[in-house]
Structure 1
Amino acid sequence: SGRYLLPAMPAVAVLLALEWERIGRRVFLATFICGGVILTVVTVLSIRLHAQMGGCGAYPAHYWLLLAACAVFITAGIFIPRFTRPLAVTVPLLLYLVFASFVRPLDIRMGVFPLEVREKMRGRQVWVPSNFRAKDERIRFLLPGADIHSYQTGLNLPIRQLSERYPLFAVQVPIQEGTRRSVLARCPGCVIVGERLDMRTRHKGKELREMFLEGKLFELLFVREYLVESPLAPHDAAERWAADECR
């Protein structure tokens, strides 16, 4: 967490500045290799996300140029000794920019609900998934004015059961399996009000092993989140299921 890392960074920066010329080149090479691995992962995820969105311009042209420039700097730092030390500072900064650009579409297009959906949700009770205490508070920024409640993802409730509990709820489904048709097939009579793309956090141990040992990083990292309206839920859902909230 950043709150633990940031207080130590000034001291680390001073130590690096004092010992910079004495640090062996192998240490810098290790930095470039780690950076290359990170860049490769982000590039693969970007390509797959772009393809999953049907090539609809998830990322602009300058984003791909940024990836290429970062790759050139990493290569130069590894194979051209006089560039190793200067680029050892430049590359990490570029990688921060790469990651910020990678997640940017989730903040402005794919990761937010359309304006008409946000307006429609004002004043309404919405149940959203939560796997951490008060994590649902972030949804208040995505649906301003809505009365947000949470339900615990650890309950592993299927869509059908969610529709019998909550009149209006958000549900997350795997990006490659989560089509509108598949959601409605498991929720007869329901209506999908809106959708967005989200990035999951706090993965379980089994999921982490699948991500890094079985190559399922993309499948387990991204999800589609649907806002679903159900005619099957009771009108007193807020009181009836208050104990299920992740607080």
Structure 2
Amino acid sequence: MTDSYSLPHLQRHRSLMIAWVSLLLAVIVYCTGLGSDHLATNGDELLYAQISHLTAETGQLLPLQSLDEKARNTKPPLLFWQGIISTGWGTNWSLARLRAPNALYTLLTAGLLVMIGFRRTHNPVLGISAALFFLSFFSTYRYGRVFLTSAPETFWLFAPLALLLLHRKPEFPEGIFWPWFCGGMIGIGLLYKSFALVVPVVLTMALWQLRARGWQALPFLKRDAWRLAMTLASALLLFSLWFWLDPNPLLVLQDFVWKENAGKFNTGGESYLLNLLWGQSSLWRIVVAYPLNAGLLALLTVALFWDAWKRKLHLSLLEIFLWIWMLVLAAFFCIPNQRDERYLLPAMPALALLLAIRLAHLPHWIATVTIAASGIIMIGLVGLGLLLQHSVGLGTLYPVWVILPIVVGLAVVVIGMFNKDLTRPLLPSSVLMVYLGYLLFALPLDHGPGLFSGEGIESVIGCEVSVPSNFNAREESYGFLLPGASVKPYEHWKSPPAEAQFLVVSLPLDHAAPSGIILGKRLNMIDRFNAAETRDILMGNITHHLFHWDWLIQTH
């Protein structure tokens, strides 16, 4: 494992400096723009924000409130409580306040990887490299800093495993305290996501203990089984607090246990075996989940899998433990009828650590291709920004200083591609520069023309505003943009309600302003398209569908 880092002193020092600078870049990427309406996210985020807001308005933490009965008790309460606390019971309602704790969770998970790497090698490069790979994964970038369960779930489920990995052999320390402590951490993770996740975590711990004891069952049963049982019990006891504290525990049982969890086994009258082998949620979605979650690092992830297969009889002890966690989680989520690559996010820190361990042994050309792909995407973002500026027709949308990080990013790509000694050290930073490039591209969408402004905005405070919605609780985004207004959704493909006094109408840039008194407008980027719109975009009609003016109007 350590032969990857037996470099000459000067080269090792240079790699360490690049690693620290890249880590600083990662912190900037993950902590900047948290209030953006155009962050890479998942459609459930605004639904969770809505549940937090409605629950906060009651002045009680339970029961959870939702406008849609189908979304009632859709997740355990801890994420919603986190949102209530971070926004001061909704008095400081903003996307940035909702998202900031999750960005911190992701950085703490990266910190665990730094600790493991340093503890194992007494060299910070391995741990920092693992942290950088984790922060470079597209799944971490997309789900790890928005108001979803992914970031806290990943931290709390990986934390007890990380504590065990800090030992030479991942064995439970002696005493009765540690099983309860580990179970408590797992229980917090369950209160973010689901009680079912206790199974793969405890099973992984059991396999680790068995492997540490040379696969001898008798010593395992005598010395470890009771500790694992206590860990399992303490995790489930902590999760059960939801049932004890909620005034309607039967609704929790009905909505969360039977509908949300047991419902994932519902085949809808179709064959379970057929759905397992074929379809949108088939077994193959789990098979390709790790490369998909890795994003630009997908090729490197495939190479890692092939490398591990070739060396399957010669893996180090640390590698074996990490692969056990990844494979157990993947196998566990093959069982339900609903399968999704997001379910494997808690194992992405393990994948990052494996990539850091084996990076020097993976093909150099894959790292070069990945860096080149990062450069192509950066250039594409520059082109898209120029296209946006030309289409809007408002003059210069971007400040002059934006040129500097773009030049730096492209320089990183060129150096990484043509200097073989720096290709691998610069690999994570090239991916992170793509994420920074998207942040810069979205500047006019999140500031200036991307915000409603003007005196007319004040006239909707305390009033109901009808806004277009193309997904679950999408109207909540307008609640952040029009503070003090009460937003009411209407289907985006339908005409606005005739009785509405105030409404938002979203139209392509080349359409005339709607009739009525114009109170304000904002530049918006659309993130969902139907099949016809997608085909038209692929034919080159990009700006017509991608960018809209949102007009805030008063009809009467």
TM-score interval, smaller chain: 0.7 to 0.9
In structure 1, the residue matched to 2:507 is: 173
The letter for the 2-side match of 1:214 is M
Corresponding position: 1:223 with 2:548: yes
User: In the aligned structure 2, how far is the partner of 1:32 from the partner of 1:217?
Assistant: 26
Deviation at 1:16, TM superposition (A): 0.5
In structure 2, the residue matched to 1:200 is: 526
The letter for the 1-side match of 2:542 is L
Distance change >3 Å, CA 55–CA 111, structure 1 → 2: closer
2:405 to 66, 69, 74: 66
Corresponding position: 1:27 with 2:366: yes
Corresponding position: 1:209 with 2:535: yes
Residue pair 1:32, 1:88 contacting (<8 A) in 2 also: yes
User: In the aligned structure 1, how far is the partner of 2:418 from the partner of 2:541?
Assistant: 32
Mark the runs of 5 or more structure 2 residues left unpaired by the alignment.
Answer: 1-41, 43-142, 144-149, 151-341
Q: Deviations 1:47-95 (Å, cap 9, x if unpaired)?
A: 1222334463311112122222212221222222222112212111111
Q: Deviations 1:142-171 (Å, cap 9, x if unpaired)?
A: 11111211100133x2xxxx3734221111
Distance change >3 Å, CA 205–CA 12, structure 1 → 2: farther
Corresponding position: 1:7 with 2:346: yes
- 1:1-247 alignment to 2 at 5 Å? 1=42, 2=143, 3=150, 4=342, 6-54=345-393, 56-114=395-453, 116-155=455-494, 157=495, 162=496, 164-175=498-509, 177-178=510-511, 182-184=512-514, 187=515, 190-211=516-537, 213-231=538-556
Deviation at 1:28, TM superposition (A): 0.9
In structure 1, the residue matched to 2:248 is: none
User: In the aligned structure 2, how far is the partner of 1:72 from the partner of 1:24?
Assistant: 22
More strand by share: 1
Residue pair 2:466, 2:487 contacting (<8 A) in 1 also: yes
Q: Deviations 1:151-202 (Å, cap 9, x if unpaired)?
A: 00133x2xxxx37342211111112x13xxx224xx3xx1111100011112
User: In the aligned structure 2, how far is the partner of 1:202 from the partner of 1:53?
Assistant: 20
SS at 2:450's partner residue? coil
The letter for the 2-side match of 1:97 is L
SS at 1:98's partner residue? helix
User: In the aligned structure 2, how far is the partner of 1:125 from the partner of 1:147?
Assistant: 5
Distance change >3 Å, CA 218–CA 82, structure 1 → 2: farther
| Of 96-105 and 144-153, the range deviating more from structure 2 | 96-105
Residue pair 2:460, 2:502 contacting (<8 A) in 1 also: no
Once superposed, what is the RMSD of the aligned Cα atoms?
2.0
Distance change >3 Å, CA 54–CA 151, structure 1 → 2: same
More helix by share: 2
User: In the aligned structure 2, how far is the partner of 1:54 from the partner of 1:73?
Assistant: 32
Q: Deviations 1:195-219 (Å, cap 9, x if unpaired)?
A: 00011112222322332x3123333
SS at 1:127's partner residue? strand
Larger CA Rg, structure 1 vs 2: 2
Percent identical pairs in the alignment equals 31
- TM-score, structure 2 normalization: 0.37
Distance change >3 Å, CA 118–CA 228, structure 1 → 2: closer
Residue pair 2:508, 2:544 contacting (<8 A) in 1 also: yes
RCO greater where, 1 or 2, for CA within 8 Å and sep 6 or more?
Answer: 1
Number of residue pairs matched?
217
User: In the aligned structure 2, how far is the partner of 1:214 from the partner of 1:230?
Assistant: 36
Residue pair 1:28, 1:88 contacting (<8 A) in 2 also: yes
User: In the aligned structure 1, how far is the partner of 2:425 from the partner of 2:542?
Assistant: 32
User: In the aligned structure 2, how far is the partner of 1:215 from the partner of 1:40?
Assistant: 17
User: In the aligned structure 2, how far is the partner of 1:192 from the partner of 1:113?
Assistant: 11
Distance change >3 Å, CA 86–CA 219, structure 1 → 2: farther
User: In the aligned structure 2, how far is the partner of 1:75 from the partner of 1:210?
Assistant: 34
The letter for the 2-side match of 1:44 is G
User: In the aligned structure 2, how far is the partner of 1:216 from the partner of 1:83?
Assistant: 40
| Of 216-225 and 92-101, the range deviating more from structure 2 | 216-225
Residue pair 1:76, 1:83 contacting (<8 A) in 2 also: yes
User: In the aligned structure 2, how far is the partner of 1:229 from the partner of 1:202?
Assistant: 27
Q: Deviations 1:16-37 (Å, cap 9, x if unpaired)?
A: 1111101111211221232123
User: In the aligned structure 2, how far is the partner of 1:11 from the partner of 1:117?
Assistant: 52
- TM-score, structure 1 normalization: 0.80
User: In the aligned structure 1, how far is the partner of 2:373 from the partner of 2:531?
Assistant: 23
Residue pair 1:136, 1:148 contacting (<8 A) in 2 also: yes
